[in-house]
Amino acid sequence: MARPLKFNVDEALDCALGVFWQKGYESTTTAVLAQAMGIQKGSLFNKFGDKRSLYLLALKRYLDRASADLQANLEGAEDPVEALSVWVVERATICSSTEGQAGCFIVNTTIEMAGQCADIGAITKVYWGELENQLARVLQGGQERGEIRAEIKASTLAHLLMTHLAGMNVIARQGVAPSYFERCTHALFASFRP
């Protein structure tokens, strides 16, 4: 008879996500993961599979939360464009926090893994594509309400915003203060306004 789990799976997965976020995939060992998760290596393998399987679970967890977070910020917002601006600043604050992680987990994953792992590359491509489409919809709505400049396609503005998001999260790894990203984001959104 199998022994029951003696650890909280969600908490353990959150710990694994934190380790992968801070160290990256290649620099993370299963011993470091097991220690951070508060479990034995055998329990790690039995419950989560190998390191790669655990990484994919952590990545899915992060992407699900990121998508839900953006949706929650936009739902019911009186000014969706302003809500989007606030969300971008919040992302920068989280990713540049000295108490938090180094950069953005999806940006880090894209840089480290997407080019060498087809399955992870496919996951990141889908995520970036869905995010870009969501941004374009918000910006298109802003154009229709006269809140966003209409002479530039919403899809082009979404590309610009995606570049801003990715770039600031790479720079955040250097420990740049969140106020820097707040100023840059406000300047970017001001340039979108008529």
**At residue 5, does pLDDT exceed 60?**
no
Q: What's the fold here for domain 8-64?
A: Arc Repressor Mutant, subunit A (1.10.10)
For 54, list phi and psi in degrees, rounded to 5.
Answer: -65, -40
Its pTM stands at 0.86
User: Has residue 4 got a pLDDT over 60?
Assistant: no
From the centroid of its chain, how far is CA 5?
30
Indicate if the pLDDT at residue 156 is higher than 90. Answer: yes
Position 40 scores a pLDDT of 85
Closest CA to 13 of 48, 50, 49: 48
Q: What pLDDT, on a 0 to 100 scale, did the predictor assign at position 80? A: 85
State both tokens at 179.
């106020």
Residue of higher predicted confidence among 178 and 194: 194
Residue ranges, CATH 1.10.10.60, the chain:
8-64
**CATH 1.10.357.10: which residues of the chain?**
76-194
pLDDT beyond 50 at 120:
yes
Span 93-118, pLDDT tens digits? 777 765 555 778 998 899 999 888 89
Q: Is 76-194 a domain of CATH 1.10.8.620?
A: no
Q: Which of 95, 85, 93, 56 is nearest to 185 (CA)?
A: 85
Q: Nearest to residue 121, comparing CAs of 74, 69, 59?
A: 59
Average pLDDT over residues 148-177: 89
Check residue 61 and give its pLDDT.
94
| pLDDT in the model for residue 1 | 41
- pLDDT tens digits for 158-171? 999 999 998 888 88
